[in-house]
Structure 1
Amino acid sequence: MWDLLIAHFTRRNIQLNEEQIALIQSAFHYRKFRKHQYILQQGEIARYDTFVIKGILKTYLMDEKGQEHIIKFSPEDWWANDLYSFHTEQPTNYNIDCLEDSEVLQITRKELEELIERVPPLHQYYHITYRNSIIAYNRRIASSLCNTALERYQEFIIRYPQIEQRVSNHLIASYLGITPQSLSRLRKQASGN
């Protein structure tokens, strides 16, 4: 269970000793969620930062017509959260739920702050991770506003190579901001048919 999280840090050049690994293990909470179970719902305050061990989570907004607008998928080895709500303790506009039975590691803001104090290498890690999250959201917004549907689909394949076979066309289309029928046409176009 802990191997994936520790390997995640190691791949990002975060060197941890045995004592620091033990502190990380004591700070995070292991939880299981069923398919379609919410981890966070609109109007709640994000109490946890969530690292996915197994499964896929989706982060999305719901419009006034009940239409989902998927912002992000979080497969294994990814984080899922509304950082704004997590750090400001303001209600979230997002929903995060499980697309598969999922296993996660979660940490509260207070526990995270204490952990960063006690494990200094994590300060740099979280600084870089949060910066990269902001960059990713900015790119997502720019892509949604400026790129063609085909370009957005190609970016999706690069960003989420392991997800296309695991989630429905309806969800991929929602992420891309198109209909499932348009997605079928894009796939044909992308494959050269």
Structure 2
Amino acid sequence: MNPGTAIDQFIQYLTAKITLSADELAQIRQVAIQKKIRKRQLLLQEGDVWRYNAFVGHGFLRTYSIDNKGNEHILNFSPENYWSGDRESLTTGNPSRFNIEAIEDTDVVLITKENFEQLCRNIPQLNDLVNAILHKSFVVSQDRIHAGISLSAEEKYQKFLNQYPQIANRVPQHMIASYIGITPETLTRIRRSSAGK
């Protein structure tokens, strides 16, 4: 089954949330760039400046950094119908501290910062939607920081499974461990212990 292009998926996502006229849809299609990224290929490399708003049409991305000991720290996962990118680099123009990599073959829609800002000025409902998404992502970040400093390793893993059941089955265990801030060994122990219960 071919669900259509990433741009079609993006339009479907938008029209499920807001009402857009034919002219507004045409404006969006005009500036939307479709890009295919192979599994393990980078969409963004640490040190580059991020210049887009990115929407995942098909596939799966992860945003991560590598510390000076060579350990990976996953900031977030972006499956279908999620946004991705480095908001700090996009806003400030500073080089990114992160890598964005495809976990699976992925199709994304990219809209440059300038074009996206123009769309938000021209289409008030899109601007409202973007603000709602930003508010939601702030709340999710705040909740994640709270979980990171107050929950046990077992509680962090259970919370991840409850919040993201569709992600848990698609990513390797070591990536889940990195995302929730525990070692792969700790995660293996937790999984063994819960399987034995």
Scaled by the length of structure 1, the TM-score of the pair is: 0.92
For the structure 1 residues 191 and 18, does the alpha-carbon distance in structure 2 shift closer, same or farther, using more than 3 Å as the test? farther
User: Quick check: 44-53 or 158-167, which moved more?
Assistant: 158-167
Amino acid aligned to 2:120: I
**Distance in 1 between the 2:58 and 2:163 partners?**
18
Offset of 1:9 from its aligned partner?
2.2
Whether contact under 8 Å (1:45, 1:90) holds in the other structure is yes
Matched length: 192
User: Quick check: 61-70 or 180-189, which moved more?
Assistant: 180-189
Q: Secondary structure at the match of 1:114?
A: helix
Offset of 1:77 from its aligned partner?
0.6
Equivalent residue number for residue 172 of structure 1: 176
RMSD: 1.6
**Distance in 2 between the 1:182 and 1:155 partners?**
16
Equivalent residue number for residue 99 of structure 2: 95
Scaled by the length of structure 2, the TM-score of the pair is: 0.90
Q: Secondary structure at the match of 1:74?
A: strand
Q: Secondary structure at the match of 1:162?
A: helix
Structure 2 unaligned spans of 5+:
none
**Distance in 2 between the 1:158 and 1:21 partners?**
35
**Distance in 2 between the 1:51 and 1:190 partners?**
36
CA deviation string 1:98-119 (max 9, x = no partner): 1111100011110101111222
CA deviation string 1:118-177 (max 9, x = no partner): 222111011111122222222211211111112211221233221222111111111122
Offset of 1:39 from its aligned partner?
0.9
Q: Secondary structure at the match of 2:166?
A: coil
Q: Secondary structure at the match of 2:109?
A: strand
- 1:74 correspondence with 2:78: yes
Equivalent residue number for residue 10 of structure 1: 15
Equivalent residue number for residue 109 of structure 1: 113
- 1:159 correspondence with 2:159: no
Whether contact under 8 Å (1:58, 1:97) holds in the other structure is yes
Offset of 1:60 from its aligned partner?
1.0
| Alignment match of 1:41 (pick from 42, 45, 53) | 45
User: Quick check: 114-123 or 158-167, which moved more?
Assistant: 158-167
For the structure 1 residues 66 and 110, does the alpha-carbon distance in structure 2 shift closer, same or farther, using more than 3 Å as the test? same
Q: Secondary structure at the match of 2:188?
A: helix
Offset of 1:25 from its aligned partner?
1.2
Equivalent residue number for residue 27 of structure 1: 31
Offset of 1:190 from its aligned partner?
4.6
Q: Secondary structure at the match of 2:50?
A: coil
Structure 1 unaligned spans of 5+:
none
Whether contact under 8 Å (1:57, 1:74) holds in the other structure is yes
Identity percentage of aligned residues? 39
User: Quick check: 138-147 or 3-12, which moved more?
Assistant: 3-12
**Distance in 2 between the 1:80 and 1:182 partners?**
28
Offset of 1:185 from its aligned partner?
2.9
**Distance in 1 between the 2:12 and 2:157 partners?**
30
User: Quick check: 73-82 or 87-96, which moved more?
Assistant: 87-96
